[in-house]
Amino acid sequence: MIEEVLKKTSQLFPLPTATATATPTPVAPIPTVMPDHDIYEVAGDAGKKTLWVVFVLMLIASAGFTLMSWKVPVSKRLYHVITTIITLTAALSYFAMATGHGVSLQKIVIREQHDHVPDTYETTYREVYFARYIDWSITTPLLLLDLGLLAGMSGAHIIMAIVADLTMVLTGMFAAFGSEDTAQKWGWYTISCISFIFVIWHLAINGGANARAKGEKLRTFFVAIGAYTLILWTAYPIVWGFADGSRKVGVDAEIIAYAILDVLAKAVFGAWLLVTHANLRESDVELNGFWSNGLSRDGAIRIGEDDGA
């Protein structure tokens, strides 16, 4: 009796049996790309200390050149005045950079492409020391003036060299603030390098020819100090290419590299020029008139006197 009831129940409610089921196809997770946080490339302790050290060195050089000028008549102090202005300007520039008043953050946005997901953008803020370009726009023309006077170059050639130099410096600054990996940035850099070639041409060709006419001793000295200057100046665009240009080196390395070049190109250059000039009569540049004596009585401006009195 009980068995018959169980049979009927099993027929009404059959037990589940194992059947083949389709294996679900795994679905790959949707990839996500999270952009990184903003990157800041700024000076560290090494860079900041270097700025202060060069500031002090330029002040010492300026004081030394001033003391050297007191040993010669006012009429023969032209080299001393120019060279002192060079190192004093550099000292002010390094003080501005060391105190944070000669620097700005350049925003650099880099686009990164990805497969199957939207592109992301990496934002970097790098310090650009614009005080350095202001410094160069004042000091490098004065350095060229020193060399032009030493060689006896004409005023026309000196002015053309200075114009090419200013073009080089200013376009270099435009390149530093240009957009990353664009014709704007590297176009300005190319113009700057071409301008530098004109500076080299004026010094090497015109300067060398004029120095040769002033005697063998002066020609030898001009070739030595001129080549020394041009070699150092050639290193500047190389440093720029690795620093502000491609950002292959950090801000500290950039500061240290430029600091070494500035000390060699300004303080050491000035000391070499003034010491040699003191023992090389062919290099004398003597200025009288207003430079040495001021306005004469006939040329003085009279205030409060009636005409014909």
- Give how many domains the chain has, as a whole number: 1
Q: In the predicted model, is pLDDT for residue 94 greater than 90?
A: yes
C-alpha to C-alpha distance for 185 and 248, rounded to whole angstroms: 16
pLDDT of residue 299: 47
pLDDT of residue 291: 78
15 lies in some domain: no
Burial class (CB in 10 A: 0-12, 13-18, 19+), 250: middle
308 lies in some domain: no
pLDDT of residue 267: 97
Q: Residues with Cβ < 8 Å from 211, sequence gap 6 or more?
A: 150, 151, 152, 218, 219, 222, 223
Q: Residues with Cβ < 8 Å from 268, sequence gap 6 or more?
A: none
C-alpha to C-alpha distance for 194 and 172, rounded to whole angstroms: 11
Show the domain range for 250: 36-284
Name which of 9-23, 43-57, 249-263 the model is least confident about: 9-23
Cα 44 versus chain centre, distance: 18
**DSSP SS3 for 304:** coil
8 lies in some domain: no
3 lies in some domain: no
The string of DSSP letters for 67-83 reads: HHHTTS-GGG-HHHHHH
Q: In the predicted model, is pLDDT for residue 99 greater than 90?
A: yes
Name which of 45-54, 107-116, 122-131, 270-279 the model is least confident about: 107-116
Name which of 3-17, 48-62, 246-260, 266-280 the model is least confident about: 3-17
25 lies in some domain: no
**More confidently predicted of 178 and 174:** 174
CATH code at position 97: 1.20.1070.10
Query: What is the end-to-end Cα distance of the chain in Å, rounded?
Result: 158
Q: Residues with Cβ < 8 Å from 30, sequence gap 6 or more?
A: none
C-alpha to C-alpha distance for 171 and 83, rounded to whole angstroms: 25
26 lies in some domain: no
Confidence tier at 272 by pLDDT (50, 70, 90): very high
Confidence tier at 292 by pLDDT (50, 70, 90): confident
Strand boundaries in the chain, DSSP class E: 39-41, 104-112, 120-128
Q: In the predicted model, is pLDDT for residue 31 greater than 70?
A: no
C-alpha to C-alpha distance for 275 and 28, rounded to whole angstroms: 77
Confidence tier at 303 by pLDDT (50, 70, 90): very low
pLDDT of residue 183: 82
User: What is the pLDDT averaged over residues 131-140?
Assistant: 97
What dihedral do alpha carbons 9, 11, 16, 22 form, nearest 10°? Answer: -160
222 lies in some domain: yes
**pTM (predicted TM-score):** 0.81
Q: Residues with Cβ < 8 Å from 113, sequence gap 6 or more?
A: 119
* Mean pLDDT for all residues in the chain: 84
**DSSP SS3 for 290:** helix
Q: Residues with Cβ < 8 Å from 165, sequence gap 6 or more?
A: 140, 141, 144, 195, 199
Cα 244 versus chain centre, distance: 8
277 lies in some domain: yes
pLDDT of residue 158: 95
pLDDT above 90 coverage of the chain, percent: 53
